[in-house]
A and B are shown apart, each in its own frame.
Chain A
Amino acid sequence: MVFNSDIFLFVFFPVVFILFWSFKAKQARYVILTVSSYVFYGYWDWRFCWLLFISSMISFFTAILVDGSPTRRRRLAWMTASIVIDLTILGFFKYYNFFTSNIYSLFTSSAPPLLRVVLPVGISFYTFHTISYIVDVTQGKVRATRNLFEYLTYVSLFSQLVAGPIVRFRQIEEDLERIDHPPKEEQVAVGIGFFVVGLIKKCVIADSIAKEIDPMLAAYTSMSVAGAWAAALGYTFQLYYDFSGYSDMAIGLGHLFGIRIPQNFDSPYQATGIRDFWRRWHISLSSWLRDYLYIGLGGNRRGEVRTNLNLMLTMLLGGLWHGASWTFVAWGAYHGVLLTCDRAYEQFWARVPVAIRRSVTFLLVIFGWVLFRSATFEMARVWLWKMFGSATLSGGVTAPLLFWVVLCLPLVNLLKDTWYFQFPTTRRWAVAYALAFFVAYLFMNGAKTVFLYYQF
């Protein structure tokens, strides 16, 4: 099920919302959210609900064992066991065929067979939820909950189950504990505001851009220089509005159930450096990678060389997390190199005027997105080559694409992120939100699209 579907908007959400607020007991609300989240997930393919359930149960019980372990060594052993199981499940479903086909291309005779493995939606996200929980319990940053349904609510909460944000248990623990509180008018208004803005970002902006650039990229060999730039810019904006739109909707839904989901975007295209970009883009993932991988590897405590190596490794794995493809790995490596350079030339970079820093960062990010969007290295090579003049200069840029690019360029550069909007909560604003929702629905209806980050 996706947020921008009739079944979600007019059946699933109203039913869950009414049921949730009809019951007042904490446990009843946990159960309602858990069951509804499994329905939400199972609507796509109910068989994978078992996988979600097993993964959740393993981390739930391991955390209790960690909590009760008398020695640090035993705590670490339980944590390692749980993470290995989680990563094995993720590795099998997401990367088995990728690695097998690569082994096959190197050692034809000794490669294991390819399997018909379906990638379960959201597996990368909920695996990171469970890993962060078990690590935090081991490190004593959070207590292991004994309430199974509280934990199942945390892992499977439908608003952030399939495409994030990657929420840590400690970030929403307080709200989960106070879930039996009565609804607040203000919280509902803010939730609706976030959701409507997200729906507009996704259905009006991102999908309209996708409609223009997808056919262009399907015929990337015939793009002109202007077309290649327009497609690169278009995808840059599409990806941002698609994913940040999804995140806004997730945050809005969280508010509607009294759970404050953390910020995931902070005007990333206003970044003045690559490190700054990663502090603003997909914050929940970049901070997860920083806290659980980069710091785990030693962070910047073991000298310059090791720090850069850790950065590269973190970004390579971050790239691979996005999908089983070498282009994602290369995209991660590209950002790893940029981050290393950013660190090395930090003092020089600080003296460069802000406008230039922002422009250069934006350009570097665009080149990265070309790699990210390309299905093959050949596509990335041709696309980048055309951007640098290896094609006819103009042609093939449609008026709607030009319109969106010209509109989005100032929008992403001047506007603050949705997170900082002071959503008006007075009742007359309900009229404005309803009309905005209605317009977004006109764009959404009949257009069968999914969120770009669902595939990860």
Chain B
Amino acid sequence: MRFLVLFTLVLALSCVIYYGFIQFVDPYGEYGTGTFPVLVLDSRRAKLQLLHRFAEQGPVGGLILGSSRSLLMRPELLSGSDQSRVFNFAVDNAHAEDFLAIYHYAIAQKINPKFLVIGLDVASLHSDDAHDHMFDRSELKNYLENTGDTSSWPPMKWLSDVKSLYTKDYLKDAFKAIWMKIRHQTPKTKFATDGYEVQYSGAQSPAGEIGPLHDFSDDVKSYMQRLSGMRDLSHKRLNYLRQLFTEARQHNATVVVWLTPIHPRLNELITQNTNYADLIKKVNVEAENWVSAYGIHYKDYSDIRTFGGLETAWSDSTHLDWRNMDRVAHALVGEVPHGL
């Protein structure tokens, strides 16, 4: 059995060395080591801190929730006539659980927003019910079921956090961070104090240009991957949304939900191959119930003509650039009764 003992010891040693390496390189900026550039800014973690600081400086009137598609929504455009302070809490790959957990966090921080503007993607209601790995790693996870900061049993939480470091993607990003340091490159993503994205990653360039010759084949594949296995809307995630609407109503907050679009030509290709159009219909059917049962405001902007969007103002095939995003913001302010 000495062979097995040696095997186990080497395995354990590898784990320890890897753990030390990841802590030292810190590609997601989680440990504050600061030796290497932060490669992928964890938007959830960063915005939790930013919101905390933002709230210390004055009351928060509104929250923008959504996925990376809402990162470029300018908070000041939703300030309304009373110039409310609005915070953009859009995060990468957001699902319904993110929206509910963020709201719980805000309430726990004594932030009672007067309104919530939620950019809803069809994939935010994906039937796989799988959390984004960054959600699982963030403090937000503790706020999903509860409104207080009650963590799971600390050793298990620690174990779960540590385990999530041991992936090939984490290792790859660690090496990328080292490479950036060697090449003297700077981090690509940065948020302003109100959560707005001011320094952009490749996909989030502020002004994109999708011309008539743009090749959508890779976009189709990548979006197919995102929708992979999504036959229906997740009941679990729909319940998270219903819970959010109920609690917002109890706190007298106005909720505005807008369904995000993808580029019209990608939409056309995706519709040919998947049940995407069917999923949009299902969201709209659900939304009718939300409007009548919870008094929320709902706008289906999956067709860019509904908010006067431009076919060229896209960062990429699934992300509106700032010009289209401003149009969405103006349309939302105009559509919602009494403004925001």
Contact = CB atoms under 8 A, between A and B. Distances in A.
Interface in B9-44: 9-11, 14-15, 18
Contact of A446 (B3, B8, B167): B167
Given A214-B228, A215-B224, A222-B220, A445 B166 contact: yes
Nearest to A220: B273
Given A218-B224, A434-B10, A445 B163 contact: yes
Contacts, number: 89
B7 interface: yes
A443 interface: yes
A188 B14 contact: no
B168 interface: yes
Contact of A431 (B4, B10, B168): B10
Contacts of A443: 168
A211 B215 CA distance: 22
Contacts of A192: 3-4, 7
A446 B222 CA distance: 19
Interface string A419-455: 0000001010011011101100111011010000000
B164 interface: yes
B273 A215 contact: no
A212 B222 CA distance: 10
B164 A446 contact: yes
B213 interface: no
A354 to B, nearest CB: 38
A6 B171 CA distance: 19
A222 B167 contact: no
A129 B169 CA distance: 41
Given A188-B3, A427-B2, A442-B166, A218 B273 contact: yes
Interface in A126-144: none
B182 interface: no
A2 interface: no
Contacts of A222: 217, 220, 269, 272-273
A215 B224 CA distance: 6
Contacts of A389: none
B133 interface: yes
B221 interface: yes
B6 interface: yes
A445 B224 contact: no
B225 interface: yes
B7 A430 contact: yes
B327 to A, nearest CB: 30
Contacts of B156: none
A395 interface: yes
A118 interface: no
A183 B221 CA distance: 50
B274 interface: yes
A219 B274 contact: yes
Interface in B219-241: 220-222, 224-225, 228
Nearest to A443: B168
Contacts of B171: 442
A114 B268 CA distance: 37
Interface in A189-218: 189, 192, 211, 214-216, 218
A41 B210 CA distance: 52
A88 interface: no
A398 interface: yes
Contacts of B163: 6, 445
Contacts of A445: 163-164, 166-167
Contacts of A425: 3
A192 B11 CA distance: 13
Contacts of A438: 11, 14-15, 18
Contacts of A68: none
Contacts of B9: 434
B285 interface: no
Given A185-B2, A221-B272, A222-B273, A395 B220 contact: no
Contacts of A396: 217-218, 220-221
A442 B1 contact: no
Interface string B188-223: 000000000000000000000000000101101110
Q: Which are the 3 A-B pairs with shortest beta-carbon distances?
A: A434-B10, A219-B273, A430-B6
Given A6-B163, A214-B228, A222-B220, 8 more contacts: A216-B224, A218-B228, A219-B273, A219-B274, A431-B6, A431-B10, A433-B7, A445-B163
Interface of A: 6, 21, 183, 185, 188-189, 192, 211, 214-216, 218-219, 221-222, 395-396, 398, 425, 427, 430-431, 433-435, 437-438, 441-443, 445-446, 448
21 contacts: A6-B163, A185-B2, A188-B1, A192-B3, A214-B228, A218-B224, A219-B220, A396-B221, A430-B3, A430-B4, A430-B7, A430-B10, A431-B10, A433-B7, A434-B10, A435-B10, A435-B14, A438-B18, A443-B168, A446-B164, A446-B167
